[in-house]
Amino acid sequence: MHQGKMKALVTYGPHDYRLEEADIPRAEEGEMIIKVEGCGICAGDLKAFKGGSVFWGDGTKPPYLEVPAIGGHEFVGHIVEIGPGIEKKETYGIADSGFQIGDRVAVEQIAPCGICRYCKEGRYHLCVPHNVYGFKNYLNGGFAQYAKLTKESLVYKIPEEMPLEKALLIEPYACSMHAIRRAKIEKDDIVVISGAGCLGLGMITAAARQKPKCLIALDLNEGRLQKAKDFGCDMAINPAKEDLESIIMELSDGYGCDVYIEATGHPASVKQGLDIIRKAGRFVEFSLFLEPVTCDWSVIGDGKELDMYGVSLSHGCFPETIRGLCSGELKSEGVVSHKFALEDYEAAFEQSGKGVGSVKVVFTYD
């Protein structure tokens, strides 16, 4: 591989993203370089672009996002360079996996340190340094034509024949699958998934495989509600147009839903879930919020004794997600709704933020 320049979208600050010519990275010991085929725009990417305090800090702690950085963590590509020492076995990372030049790969969003408490416990997704592609200037992501996979990266081969539209859903769908695993869905459960965007749809198609008693999607977007039905929901409800609480109470003999999964990032969805979930129900919180959310915590304890489950990233879910997308068991048709060139990043972010007429917006490269 020859040294040269590449197009890269570089983050400098909120609303300060610049298309630049950057040096193509080179592989050092234990590293690989991939030529990126495409990269999805995550809700986190969008909230970072808009200046969310979770990324840029609120004045009480340093910002998570370290600039300048090349964003993007939902990317796939082909290996074009392999550094020395790749065969050395590691607890985590790309080593000892038999990669070759030309292999097509997907990469998990986090590059775990392998030495902190959580990594040693096997919960690498909670790694203390928490280095996620695209948010650190030493871990540049897929908003560029080439990307370096560090020796800590978790990399998986994917079939050459897998359509790019499916391949770019591996990372978000793996996060969705982790949420469904956390929900511990049982056959007699009434399950409500609030939000039918890309992640919500990934949850719906994963949850449908569990065959709960009733699977319900909530969204304010009629197009997404139809997609939710296509992906396996028994009911798709717009809470702005229907009396959601009455519907749930009628379905559940007045008790409430057994599982509520919050996947919108809107504070109203949190309160809604606390209102309609039954006592001893399982509330799963997935979303990233722009600002802190206020709710009545007495409902969680004295009111309903709820089991509250947080969800972060995609712990151990990449292999099953890749298999499910390849086989078609995980439905994906139409989820990638818009493709943009990197030069059109402003329009891409605008489209991603609309939520109307689009689900997953991605960059694709020649």
pLDDT band of residue 246 (cuts 50, 70, 90) is: very high
Task: Please report, as a single letter, which amino acid is at residue 199.
Answer: L
Alpha carbons 278 and 272: distance in angstroms, whole number? 12
H/E run at residue 283: strand 277-285
Q: CATH code at 218?
A: 3.40.50.720
Indicate if 147 and 226 belong to the same structural domain.
no
Token pair for 94 = 């790309």
**Is 271 a member of any domain?**
yes
H/E run at residue 79: strand 74-82
pLDDT band of residue 292 (cuts 50, 70, 90) is: confident
Indicate if 140 and 156 belong to the same structural domain.
yes
**Is 353 a member of any domain?**
yes
**Is 321 a member of any domain?**
no
> Are residues 217 and 228 in contact, defined by beta-carbon separation less than 8 angstroms?
yes
Tell me the longest C-alpha to C-alpha distance in the chain.
67
For the chain, the domain total comes to 2
Render pLDDT for 21-39 as a digit per residue (tens, 0 to 9).
999 999 999 999 999 999 9
Instruction: Tell whether the torsion through CA atoms of 78, 68, 175 and 252 is positive or negative.
Output: negative
Predicted local distance difference test score (pLDDT) of residue 2: 55
What is the DSSP secondary structure assignment for residue 126, as one 8-state letter?
A: G
Which of 37-46, 92-101, 190-199 comes out lowest in average pLDDT? 92-101
> Are residues 134 and 74 in contact, defined by beta-carbon separation less than 8 angstroms?
no
Indicate if 109 and 201 belong to the same structural domain.
no
How many Cα neighbours within 13 Å face the side chain of 330?
29
> Are residues 90 and 96 in contact, defined by beta-carbon separation less than 8 angstroms?
yes
Alpha carbons 366 and 145: distance in angstroms, whole number? 9
Task: Please report, as a single letter, which amino acid is at residue 124.
Answer: Y
Please give the share of the chain, as a percent, with pLDDT higher than 70: 96
Indicate if 295 and 344 belong to the same structural domain.
no
Indicate if 204 and 256 belong to the same structural domain.
yes
Q: What is the span of the domain harbouring residue 246? A: 176-310
3-state SS class at 78: strand
Predicted local distance difference test score (pLDDT) of residue 312: 96
Indicate if 151 and 231 belong to the same structural domain.
no
**Is 322 a member of any domain?**
no
Q: Where are the alpha helices (DSSP H) in 121-197?
A: 164-167, 170-183
Token pair for 222 = 């009629």
Residue matched to tokens 């990417």: 45
> Are residues 28 and 82 in contact, defined by beta-carbon separation less than 8 angstroms?
no
